[in-house]
Amino acid sequence: MNIFRLIQGQWGLTRDAEFRKDPWYILAANRVVDAGFGKPPKGFFSNKLDEGVIIPGLVNSHSHIELSSLKDKISPGSGIVEMARRIQAERAKISDIDIRNAAITAVQEARSFGTFYFCDTINDTEFASFIKGLPAFHGNRYLELLGFKNPSDSERIAKIKPMLEEDMTLLPTIHSVYGSSPTLMNFVREKARSTSISFHLLESPEEIDFMHNTGAIVDFLKSINQYTQHREMSNKSIVDYLNQMGMLSFKKLLLVHLSSARREGIAELNELIPHAAWVLCHRSNKHLGIERTNWEALKLSPMKLLLGTDSLATAPNLSILHEMRAIEQTNHFSTSELWKAATYDAYEYLEISTSRIPYYFFPGALPEISSMCQVRAQELI
């Protein structure tokens, strides 16, 4: 009995992130084991699809699925400090079941537009266990260690150690230079150096003020009794501080946002960690009122461009296809560059086995991002 099936389509995405006509795919056990364009191989049971577009699954390189229940809770133009205040206030009002149901809905919607893999940043240990068992979820789980003041950060470490020893697929990470203390950074460095780390970096100009012990972030941390003046940070730039703390010495680094990174900071990162990736979450940045002026400097950087959405608190959905449409409209990246960032560059950087990547069919769509955003995808199984 022949276990292989051959599917033919109208349009397909090449490994060079361009669309070509007449793609074919050989499937075995619901996985694509070979693909090409033009005349298909003989000897297979063949199924020719209607008009439409076939793509490999998309990668969301930065999400906070846990915050899906906060949809529409953060006002446009809020900035990162007001966002933090609102998240803290609103989350306390939402039950665990509502948080989980909102997460399930958000992941399912993203998958219906071809997003199959997430690099998800989580704060709550129980949610980390929940998302691991969710059948629709595939990807990395980064457990974000929050705390800027002893003894809370030491207590956090004591609480999290047993879970990390039991669940080796859960990766500890920091939040940012202002969200995780030197003690937490030291712990994460020793636990995760040989794997990967994902953290927020230079999302707002307020982070630069913070390094000088002033500004809105300092005021916010003081208001929640989480501010300490750590001597390790004195008279250093953000990049210098992270480098001194060993937070740039990881196998893989996902630097999320870089919205407010200046040219000199980007140049430092280029020199120190050209192998890193930076994650663009354009819709979230725009929603918070953060205007990016470093497009060209980052485009010329050797750091790999990947795409994320952040959370439903600041983005309308977790769909990378819709994120691509918003970025495409800025005219800062070509459509081909966006497809690479969402697929083959992400697979390579995150070490996602291509044999495990699902393919999606967008019936009736043209090979254009805007057209595909109007159609719910079907997984090729």
Q: Give dist(CA 381, CA 368) in Å, integer.
A: 23
- Dihedral of the alpha carbons of 230, 232, 238, 241, in degrees to the nearest 10: -150
Break the chain down into helix, strand, coil percent, rounded to 5.
40, 25, 40
327-370: pLDDT as tens digits? 999 999 999 999 999 999 999 999 999 888 999 999 999 999 99
For the four alpha carbons of 329, 264, 180 and 235, in that order, the dihedral sign comes to: negative
> What's phi and psi for 355, nearest 5 deg?
-70, -15
pLDDT score at 354: 84
User: pLDDT class for 191, splitting at 50, 70, 90?
Assistant: confident
46-59: pLDDT as tens digits? 889 999 999 999 99
Mean pLDDT of the region 20-35: 91
Q: Give dist(CA 314, CA 126) in Å, integer.
A: 23
Q: Give dist(CA 130, CA 123) in Å, integer.
A: 12
Parallel, antiparallel or unpaired: strands 115-122 and 23-28: unpaired
Which of 286, 381, 297, 325 minimizes the C-alpha distance to 25?
Answer: 381
3 state SS of 127 = helix
Which of 190, 186, 189, 193 minimizes the C-alpha distance to 150?
Answer: 186
143-164: pLDDT as tens digits? 999 999 888 888 889 999 999 9
Q: Give dist(CA 236, CA 234) in Å, integer.
A: 6
Q: Give dist(CA 60, CA 319) in Å, integer.
A: 8
pLDDT score at 318: 98
Mean pLDDT of the region 70-97: 94
Find all residues with CB under 8 Å of 310, minimum gap 6, and list them: 62, 63, 64, 281, 283, 284
117-147: pLDDT as tens digits? 999 999 999 999 999 999 999 999 999 999 9
Which of 182, 170, 114, 110 minimizes the C-alpha distance to 142?
Answer: 170
User: pLDDT class for 381, splitting at 50, 70, 90?
Assistant: low
Q: Is the bond preceding 151 in cis, omega lying within 30 degrees of 0?
A: yes
Q: Give dist(CA 176, CA 206) in Å, integer.
A: 12
Find all residues with CB under 8 Å of 218, minimum gap 6, and list them: 209, 210, 227
CB 138 within 8 A of CB 116: yes
pLDDT greater than 50 at residue 1: no
Percent of the chain with pLDDT strictly greater than 90: 85
The pTM for the full model equals 0.96
Mean pLDDT of the chain: 94
pLDDT greater than 60 at residue 2: no
pLDDT score at 193: 77
Query: Which amino acid appears at position 82 of this protein?
Result: E
For residue 115, give the H/E element and its range.
Answer: strand 115-122
Q: What does the angle CA 110 – CA 113 – CA 115 come to, to the nearest 5 degrees? A: 55
From 182-196, 247-261, 272-286, the region with the lowest mean pLDDT? 182-196
